[in-house]
Amino acid sequence: MTESQISVSSSQVKKSVRGKRIVMTTYGSYGDVHPYMAIAIELQARGHRVVMAMSESYRPKIEAEGIEFHPIRPDAVINIQQDGPLIQALKESKRESEYAISYALMPHLRSTYSDLKQAVQGADLLVTHHLSFAGALVAETTGIPWVSSVLSPISLMSAYDLPNALPSNASSYEQALALLANDMQMRYTRWYSRFLSAPARQLRADLGLPPSYDPFFEGQHSPNLVLALFSSLLAAPQPDWPIRSCVTGFPFYDRNYDRELSPELEAFLEAGKPPIVFTLGSLFVWTPGNFYLESAIAAQQLGDRAVLLVGPLANNFPSDRLPEGIIAVDYAPHSQIFPRAAAIVHHGGVGTTGQALRSGKPMLVVPFAHDQPDNAARLVRLGVARTISSDDCNADLLATELKHLLFDPKYATNAAQMRQIMETENGIAEASDAIEAYLNGDLNQFISWRSRSGS
């Protein structure tokens, strides 16, 4: 097939599937919401009607973009006075993921299932997030066409691509040992996950459905299409990935009611050399501990300027006591602030990781939980980052690691190369094309073309 024929086919696909009602459901922080908002906006521009089904707390943000909203339980509103100490305790115990599943998600599974089943009435397609455990059940009981998605490579849990993978120049013997170790790690994870997924298995039985795959592994993935909503830089398809997997690239979105950089921040950026930017995303920014204090001290030790993105705590942050050359603000779109940084220090959330890769700047990653350690390891393998444990994060270690990033030119060179590759990816368009190809019955042709073209 020629490029011109492919182009014609693509336009025909888009034309023939317009006007579909698509329900997208997700759970989590802004990093779990923004990618789907980006795709929803694109699908609506193509003539579809998109409904986003998620916690009520996101209604204003969704409706501000002109996207239809349908609430589903549980509602996930973080109250720093009530939840801050709990989040801090979980962070210290390293059991954040276990808590989120066992106490924040599974007790509400039946309510989530009921709400989502109502949301998909009359819909043509359901698109699910990897924590949307009710989504697979709704698809099975209603028969609605279903596309699943993951936001980071760790959700695909490949024995061939786990954090302890060896470099490409390792010997065959070393590779075999690593594969064995990965397999044992996955077997343990599968065994342990059976305790966490028990409520989902019980609901399946109560719905009269036969036993099926574990919802944390194969059960989360649609047999029709799995959208891997991250860059191919982070992971390539593996032999044990779902058959119909499509790595799309990051679907970027970071608007905050059309907020730009504040005049104060813009003036700061213009007044001197590029600063180091410190951020903890939208979740762990609620319980930063001494992260920002140690970051400010580290920047001062280096004689560098710094921007601290401190989130909702900005009103209580002692900005007036910061040294000269350091500014604290509540928010700045990553797409606007990261390219103007000398280096970026972040927690390794996949949304922040994508924006940092796109900026072409070196990174120091301080992972806290969930997929963050795995994302950090992948960035280190790319040669664009260094990483330290959040337990060991102090001013002296931050300054030492930042010296490597700022004075070893290989990090800046590698980061610039990754940025060039990122510029060739369009996660929003790729994900939307794949969804439309599936709706039109041309998915196999679409995936085959992408494989031949190297997309």
In this structure, the answer to whether residues 337 and 212 fall within a common structural domain is: no
pLDDT tens string 363-381: 999 998 788 889 999 999 9
Please tell me whether residues 163 and 278 are part of one structural domain. Answer: no
- The pLDDT of residue 257 is 46
Instruction: Reply yes or no on whether the pLDDT at 440 is more than 60.
Output: yes
pLDDT at 441: 85
Highest mean pLDDT among 30-34, 154-158, 217-221, 403-407: 403-407
pLDDT digits (tens, 9 = 90+) for 337-346: 999 999 999 9
Q: Quote the pLDDT of residue 418.
A: 97
Residues 6+ apart with CB under 8 A from 432: 39, 42, 43, 46
| 250 and 267 in a common domain | no
CA distances from 237 to 116, 336, 425 (A): 30, 31, 16
Task: Name the band, by pLDDT with cuts 50, 70 and 90, for residue 91.
Answer: low
Residue 215 sits in the same domain as residue 279: no
Q: At what angle do helices 109-119 and 198-206 cross, to 10 degrees?
A: 60
b (16+ CB within 10 A) / e for 79-97: eeeeeeeebeebbeeeebe
Per residue in 147-156, pLDDT tens?
999 999 989 8
pLDDT at 3 over 50: no
The confidence band for 96, taking pLDDT boundaries of 50, 70 and 90, is low
Q: What DSSP state is assigned to residue 36?
A: H
Q: What totals of helices (H) and strands (E) does the chain contain, helices first?
A: 18, 13
Residue 145 has which token pair?
Answer: 């066409």
CA distance 162 to 181: 10
- How long, in residues, is the chain? 455
- Of all residues in the chain, the percent with pLDDT exceeding 70 is 82
Backbone dihedral region of 148: left (phi > 0), alpha (psi from -120 to 50 degrees) or beta?
beta
**Single pTM value for the model:** 0.85
CA-based end-to-end distance of the chain: 15
Going 418 to 169 to 376 to 392, the CA torsion angle's sign is: negative
Q: Are residues 65 and 180 in the same domain?
A: yes
Q: Is the dihedral of CA 399, 401, 403, 406 positive or negative?
A: negative
CA distances from residue 230 to 8, 84, 207, 358 in whole angstroms, order as listed: 27, 30, 34, 12
- Whether residues 401 and 435 fall in one domain: no
Beta bridge partners of 345: 278, 364
What is d(CA 338, CA 276) in angstroms, rounded to the nearest whole number?
9
CATH assignment at residue 271: 3.40.50.2000
Secondary structure (DSSP) of 234-290: T----TTS-TTEEE--------STT----HHHHHHHHTSSPPEEEE-TTTGGGS-TT
Tell me the sheet residues that pair with 226. 148, 245
Identify whether residues 363 and 383 lie together within a single domain.
Answer: yes
For residue 58, the model assigns a pLDDT of 92
By CB atoms closer than 10 A (0-12, 13-18, 19+), residue 287 is: buried
Q: Are 55 and 111 in contact (CB under 8 A)?
A: no
Amino acid 196: pLDDT? 79
- Do 414 and 444 lie in one domain? The reply is no
Do 229 and 153 touch, CB atoms closer than 8 A?
Answer: no
Residues 31-87: tens digit of each pLDDT? 899 999 999 999 999 999 999 999 999 999 999 999 999 999 988 655 545 555 556
pLDDT of residue 76: 64
Average pLDDT, the chain: 84
- One domain for residues 384 and 437: no
Asked if residue 137 lies in contact with residue 203, where contact means CB atoms within 8 angstroms, the answer is yes
pLDDT band at 455 (very low <50, low <70, confident <90, very high): low
Half-sphere exposure of 107 (CA within 13 A, CB side): 8
Question: For residue 110, with 0-12 CB atoms within 10 Å meaning exposed, 13-18 middle and 19 or more buried, which class applies?
Answer: middle
DSSP letter assigned to residue 145: -
Contact 197, 215 (CB under 8 A): yes
The pLDDT of residue 428 is above 50: yes
- Provide the 8-state DSSP code for 209: P
Which phi and psi (to 5°) does residue 118 adopt?
A: -70, -40
Considering its fold, how many domains does the chain have in total? 2
Tell me: do 402 and 432 sit in the same domain: no
Q: Are residues 147 and 106 in the same domain?
A: yes
Domain around 233? 3-254+426-453
Question: Percent of the chain scored above 90 by pLDDT?
Answer: 55
Alpha-carbon dihedral 259, 261, 264, 268, rounded to 10 degrees:
170
CA-nearest of 292, 360, 362, 359 to 327 is 292
Question: Does residue 430 surpass a pLDDT of 90?
Answer: yes
- Residue range 153-161: average pLDDT? 85
Distances in Å between the alpha carbon of 276 and those of 5, 128, 162, 342, 417?
A: 47, 36, 30, 5, 20
At residue 4 the predicted structure's pLDDT band, cuts being 50, 70 and 90, is very low
Same domain, 120 and 67: yes
Lowest mean pLDDT among 11-15, 157-161, 279-283, 343-347: 11-15
**CA dist., res. 434 & res. 444, Å (int):** 10
Task: Kindly tell me if the per-residue pLDDT of 13 is higher than 60.
Answer: no
Cβ neighbours around 241 below 10 Å, total: 21
Which of the 8 DSSP states describes residue 165? P
Residue written as token pair 């969804």: 435
- Between 85-94, 191-200, 252-261, 345-354, the lowest mean confidence (pLDDT) is in 85-94
pLDDT at 168 over 60: no
